[in-house]
Chains A and B, each alone.
Chain A
Amino acid sequence: MDAGTILSAATGLALLLMCAAFFLTAWRVVRGPTLPDRIVALDMLVATAIGFIAVVAIRTGFALYIDIAIALGLVGFLATAALARFVASRGLPGGEEEEAPPEPTRRRPGRARR
């Protein structure tokens, strides 16, 4: 086993794992049900994207990607802070989900929530 094989296998596996993570988080962004849920999921999407960029940095050997990842982290934090301020200033809109579903372990996908 040489270094190249190990690295390409590991980064490939990591990309696969993060792909799955990305889609799961995106499902939460679409599904909601509340605005704070979506904000948390978007924050998580940024974290996953940083991971993606770091892996791409390893695969291509361009150290510049690391700077891009750090910059994305900065912007992501600012976005989350701004969205949190929006939630605080808007309050709870009428009609939005008020209570989470009763059982967390079994969640049927198509069930009506309200």
Chain B
Amino acid sequence: MTVLLALATAVLVVTGGVFTLLAAVGVVRLPDVYTRMHAASKAGTVGSGLMLLAAGLHSLEGAVLARAVAGVAFFLLTAPVAAHLVARAAHRAGYRPTRLTVLDEMAEARRRAERNRP
């Protein structure tokens, strides 16, 4: 039983580590803020969430596990909000996306609005 628990914890911890590393690789390799945010907000959140779940599982206490699950739920709620805030601020401030970008309907809408303004 303890071996089984240790195995489950080990799998969670290593998976979390791999996701965290890949998120960091994404933050380094992707070409602009907006694409980097994809890596940080998805893989990064999943990575640290798995780690926290592993720690909760390892403790074998209901109270600690409940706290860990609440923490993960909290991260899942806040990570997209944080990414959204930064993306919105960056786009409104005028940081341009990479040249690979094929479509930017948000900038088009803004240009249209500016043209219609007297």
Contact = CB atoms under 8 A, between A and B. Distances in A.
Interface of A: 1-4, 6-7, 9-11, 13-18, 20-22, 24-25, 27-28, 34, 36-37, 39-41, 43-44, 47-48, 50-51, 54-55, 57-58, 61, 63, 65-67, 69-70, 73-74, 77, 80-81, 83-85, 87-88, 90-92, 98-102, 104, 107
Interface string B9-37: 11101101110110111011111110011
Contacts of B99: 99-100, 102
Contacts of A70: 52, 67, 70-71, 74
Contacts of B93: 36, 87-88, 90-92
10 contacts: A10-B13, A27-B28, A28-B27, A43-B82, A48-B44, A50-B51, A51-B20, A73-B78, A100-B96, A104-B29
Interface residues of B, number: 66
B17 A69 contact: no
B20 to A, nearest CB: 5
A7 B10 contact: yes
A18 B17 contact: yes
A77 B89 contact: no
Contact of A54 (B32, B55, B74, B86): B55
Task: Classify the secondary structure of A's interface with B.
Answer: helix
A25 B27 contact: yes
A23 B47 CA distance: 16
Most B Cβ at <10 Å: residue of A6, A16, A20: A6
A61 B58 CA distance: 8
Given A14-B13, A73-B78, A36 B89 contact: yes
Nearest to A65: B55
A64 to B, nearest CB: 9
A15 to B, nearest CB: 8
A80 B21 contact: no
Contacts of A15: 17
B107 interface: no
Interface string B67-108: 110110011001001110110111011111111100000000
Nearest to B38: A40
